[in-house]
Structure 1
Amino acid sequence: MARILAVDWDRHEARYALGTTSGGRVKVHVAASIPLVDVTEGGDEPHPDLAGSLAAAMSELKLGRTPVLVGVERSSIELLHFTLPPAKDNELPELVANQAMRESQLIGEQSVLDFLPIDDNPEAPRSVIAAALSPGELERIQRTCEAAELKPARVLLRPFASASLFVKTGAPAEEVYLLVNRFTDEADLSIVVDQRPVFFRTVRLPEGAGEEQATERLLAEIKRTLAAAPQTHLRGETVQCVYVLGGADDHQGLIDGIRDDLFLPASVFDPFEALGVRDERAPENPGRFAPVLGMLLDEATGSHAIDFLHPRKMPQPVNRGRIAVFAGGVLAALILGVAFNTWSTWSDIQSENKVLAKRAAELDKTMKKAAEQKKLIDAVREWKARDVIWLDELRDLSLRFPSTRDVVVSRMSLSPSQSGGGAINLEGLMRGPDILVKLENQVRDRYRRVQSKRVQERKLERDYTWLFETSLSVARRDADRDQSRYVSHLPEDQKPGTEPGTESETLADAGTPSPPAKVKKASQ
């Protein structure tokens, strides 16, 4: 049985758990928190002495060469979500690195980058969560551990470890749920879909505030998280339940607030109870130890989602130079042996046949490799051919949209479709349902299908008294033939190079308008 130490920290305390792992199981021997002591150096402002506080506590454990797992909080890393073309797992590291550097200026070639694929089908577009740690932050973590006489074996992401512990031990029945883990003055909020974490936030709580004020702030942040989570990550579903990490008697005010304000079922999950640790051995605030316990369990099962010391990389290429030297030496020895033993014509022919056979095998391998590369290139080209030119779509949509006096859009999401084209989802406020009918008629054409999911009156509002949700199915336009239709609704004298009949054709293509959405009156 191997001893493992897991440790993480925030601005006020460090937490650790020492345990042993065997056969995919964890036995926790000790778990405790370490208050960070403030020190002053050279007249500077007092600051927490993390290394000194850790060193003092670790000296009593007699760790020796025990491997150490270090958890990193969400605010210390750059986290990205994006979708890549269909690709095999061994092709993802290079694709993820290129896409991450294009999407974030904070990520460079020296950044430590690891990622987690959300789906496993190599024939479909791959959704990925990528996490990047700056070289300076990694060096700071290693210096802190070195000063505390600890040697990190892995550097992991704190929210992933908490979610992994819950998924492996909580046996949740819901497909989509929210995990809430509160620390001293911050909280981790994680949304899990089909037992895979897909969205994370770490929020700050008022420092020194009372329990009631902190609970109100956390409830507000939970509402923001539910509203901010992209529907593409939730696969069109909504959060069905909320689990708060902690002891049986912890966070009762937060549980009641979730049930009363969000109308969602909520319950407490005790991480120590999930691992079979008796109550008398569990420390106070057990929910704060979910990350270190999750790291121990992931180490036992060998399933860390993100590891900045061992990130996913491309497979090392075969050293063809050594193979060529070895093959050349074998061939030379063969030729010399044949020449030394016999000078007959038959021996010369046999040697030539062997050389030709080897060349043919090499050509077969080269052709197979080229065929695989061509297949990948064709797949990327096909994927790009189904893409939508979103800038033109947005410009055309803004030209057709009613004025801000009638409609205000509060939320818009755009997503591609696997079968080509894409979808635009709108949420907003308007003055009356007739504005929505006008909006649908102005936007609908042969390339857009419009459907309003919800129209609801807000009786307590004066100006924008109606709330609406509308979705648009967008078809891709041919670059050579259909791009002019982006301006088909303009007057004839404003269309660049428009031939007669274009406008009537576009109106005809619009088809019969779909029935208006059902109107629901309710108090907001």
Structure 2
Amino acid sequence: MPKRIALDYDDRELRIVVANCNGSKVQVTDAQVIPIPENGSVSEKLRAYINSEGLQKTETLVTIGRGKAELRELQLPPVPDDELPDMVRFQAIRGFASASERAIVDFLVTRRTNENNTLIAAAVSPGDMDRVRELCKTSDLFPKRIALRPLSAASLYLRGQKTPPICVLIDLLNDDAEIVIARDGKVIFVRTVRLPSEARHRSGAIASELHRTMVACGETSTPDRIVVWGTESVHSGDIAAIKSTISCEDVQAVNPFDLVSLQIDRSALPEHIGRLAPLVGLLASDETAPETLIDFLNPRKKPEEEPDRVRRILMIAGPIAAVFLAGFFIYRQFAQWDRKIANATNEVNLLLPSAEAAQESIKRTETIDQFLDGDINWLDEIRRLAEKAPPSDKMIVRNISGTASIRGGGGTLRIVGAVTEPSVIDELEEALRDPTHGVVGKGSQEQKGQDTYAWTFTESVMISGETIRNTRYQRMAERIAEAESQAADDPPTAAEQPVSEETQSEAVQPEDQDSEDQDAPQQPSTPEQPSDENATDTAEVQA
């Protein structure tokens, strides 16, 4: 089995895991946490270890933390997978603070819907990548992957375990805590927080930061499971603090080496083995699940199309044959083609004004639509709230405000109120959320001294501009159909009524009668029915 090295480092220690890897099989042969003294060199410590173990020219997997990479959550329109890399890179250069034209950008899609693609994008500077390559070069190692550390640890647990709907993974380092939130086995949020230097304050800080992370990612419910990488004996205080703060009963410590094969004595493992979880996960995912990683050495790119030789030959030979064939027909039917060209030119010239007018009309219509997309019927939204909200014995609304987005269309309905218990807020969000309405809550807060409605809340209901436009066009279509139906039901006008036989017989008179009529003085006629034009106008007004 080929041997691989996974390494990670910071200013205080160098972490190394060596394993034999073959597909999904990972057999760990060594695990080290090497302290780095103040003003010490990571390169010297790594080179000394590699030389002592004889691991030169070994493929190496490196993890880097949030300190070296900038991480953002992006929402992009649904596009084919081969177009995502260019779109993500363009968005990262525009939106990331430290990303430049030379930055290395990779991403991981977390959710796909018909409206958008949600993904986690990360960017690292070329200078940081060069330093990692130089570190491997000085120790005669071949870097194969340079992956984001939190996702490497998450991949180890989520692929091999049956996870509940909401699962939280916590990796505790010297001064940092990396928190990963997964929904239905897929990562949806990553956050790195600083921890106090004093050990007695760390447990409380971890629990508080975990609560803030859940709020930041929009998960208001309690996690179904919380996993702390490490052993029960080392993290018992952290687990107790999390249970008391988050109110989650399923809080467990997981040893990453229990998820792979181990060829060394467990007593030889470091005390804080949870810090090695990203390295074990990177070794396990290297060949079997690279799509779950953010790899800056092998970022996702648009696939290159292989040249089609047959198509190239046809593209060259086709025009040549067409030239000879066209010359033959031109020689025989030159005059006829001139006439056809002249006719076609005339037709095109006749159609050009209509086409230009149509394009101008389309532009004006789109401009009007963009303006009307911000015109929300707030009465409809308030009526919808009244119909779907829980009864008044469970909830009261104290303030409602609506904000329209003129530039992007749509708007936001902000609801402030109070409920008898927090579960009513979940019921309200579930009732208001549908494919055309998004709901984001800011949590709830208990108001001391209140008897019935003791929990206050603030909910924001987002209505997109596309929804406003679709509703507008649907109502226009209904009104047109109603008008056409009413016009079809109206009685026919006098001009449309058939002429009877008696009237026709009176119209046919002898010539004598005609002459008498001509001699008789003409009397002005008074029509009993309106003309066709007036009848049509009347029908249109009624419609």
TM-score between the two structures when normalised by the length of structure 1: 0.63
The residue correspondences of 1:92-107 to structure 2 (distance < 5 A) are 92-107=84-99
Matches of 2:243 and 2:226, distance apart in 1: 9
Aligned residue pairs total 387
The question of whether the paired residues in 2 share the 8 Å contact of 1:37 and 1:50 is answered with: no
Q: Cα offset for 1:327?
A: 4.2
CA deviations on 1:433-475 (whole Å, 9 max, x unpaired) are xxxxxxxxxxxxxx999999998651179xxx96223343536
Structure of greater Rg: 2
Matches of 1:128 and 1:24, distance apart in 2: 26
Determine if the alignment matches structure 1 residue 272 to structure 2 residue 257. Answer: yes
The residue correspondences of 1:69-468 to structure 2 (distance < 5 A) are 69-120=61-112, 123-172=114-163, 174-207=164-197, 209=198, 211-229=199-217, 231=218, 234=219, 238-265=222-249, 266-277=251-262, 279-304=266-291, 305-317=293-305, 326-327=313-314, 457-459=446-448, 467-468=456-457
Other structure's SS at 1:311 match: coil
Question: Match for 1:188: what amino acid?
Answer: E
Q: CA RMSD in A?
A: 4.5
Q: Cα offset for 1:239?
A: 2.4
The question of whether the paired residues in 1 share the 8 Å contact of 2:14 and 2:36 is answered with: yes
Matches of 1:317 and 1:125, distance apart in 2: 26
Other structure's SS at 1:239 match: coil
Matches of 1:248 and 1:129, distance apart in 2: 31
Question: Match for 1:14: what amino acid?
Answer: L
Alpha carbons of structure 1 residues 414 and 7: separation in structure 2 relative to 1, 3 Å = farther
Matches of 1:317 and 1:7, distance apart in 2: 35
Alpha carbons of structure 1 residues 137 and 458: separation in structure 2 relative to 1, 3 Å = same
Matches of 1:213 and 1:414, distance apart in 2: 45
The question of whether the paired residues in 1 share the 8 Å contact of 2:373 and 2:468 is answered with: no
The question of whether the paired residues in 2 share the 8 Å contact of 1:169 and 1:275 is answered with: no
Alpha carbons of structure 1 residues 388 and 426: separation in structure 2 relative to 1, 3 Å = farther
Other structure's SS at 2:111 match: coil
Question: Match for 2:92: what amino acid?
Answer: A
CA deviations on 1:8-30 (whole Å, 9 max, x unpaired) are 11221011111111231211111
Question: Match for 1:261: what amino acid?
Answer: T
Q: Cα offset for 1:179?
A: 1.0
The question of whether the paired residues in 2 share the 8 Å contact of 1:25 and 1:300 is answered with: no
- Counterpart of 2:22 in structure 1 is 22
The question of whether the paired residues in 2 share the 8 Å contact of 1:71 and 1:156 is answered with: yes
User: Structure 1 stretch 271-280 or stretch 94-103: which is displaced more?
Assistant: 271-280
The question of whether the paired residues in 2 share the 8 Å contact of 1:24 and 1:300 is answered with: yes
CA deviations on 1:23-51 (whole Å, 9 max, x unpaired) are 3121111111111133xxxxxxxx33111
CA deviations on 1:129-164 (whole Å, 9 max, x unpaired) are 111111111112222222233221110000000101
Question: Match for 1:275: what amino acid?
Answer: V
Question: Match for 2:22: what amino acid?
Answer: S
The question of whether the paired residues in 1 share the 8 Å contact of 2:206 and 2:242 is answered with: no
Other structure's SS at 2:140 match: coil
Alpha carbons of structure 1 residues 18 and 426: separation in structure 2 relative to 1, 3 Å = farther
Determine if the alignment matches structure 1 residue 469 to structure 2 residue 453. Answer: no
The question of whether the paired residues in 1 share the 8 Å contact of 2:63 and 2:147 is answered with: yes
CA deviations on 1:247-289 (whole Å, 9 max, x unpaired) are 1312101111111122112111111112243633433211111
Question: Match for 2:284: what amino acid?
Answer: L
- Counterpart of 2:56 in structure 1 is 64
- Counterpart of 1:441 in structure 2 is none
Alpha carbons of structure 1 residues 109 and 217: separation in structure 2 relative to 1, 3 Å = same
The question of whether the paired residues in 2 share the 8 Å contact of 1:448 and 1:474 is answered with: yes
Alpha carbons of structure 1 residues 301 and 389: separation in structure 2 relative to 1, 3 Å = farther
Higher helix share: 2
Question: Match for 1:10: what amino acid?
Answer: D
The question of whether the paired residues in 1 share the 8 Å contact of 2:170 and 2:228 is answered with: yes
- Counterpart of 2:536 in structure 1 is none
Alpha carbons of structure 1 residues 427 and 192: separation in structure 2 relative to 1, 3 Å = farther
Other structure's SS at 2:52 match: coil
Unaligned runs of 5+ in 1: 39-46, 339-344, 346-380, 394-406, 431-446, 483-524
Unaligned runs of 5+ in 2: 329-365, 379-397, 420-435, 473-543
Percent identity, aligned pairs only? 29
CA deviations on 1:407-455 (whole Å, 9 max, x unpaired) are 999xx9999xxxx95766667999xxxxxxxxxxxxxxxx999999998
Q: Cα offset for 1:307?
A: 0.8
TM-score between the two structures when normalised by the length of structure 2: 0.61
Q: Cα offset for 1:334?
A: 9.3
Alpha carbons of structure 1 residues 93 and 450: separation in structure 2 relative to 1, 3 Å = closer
Alpha carbons of structure 1 residues 268 and 328: separation in structure 2 relative to 1, 3 Å = closer
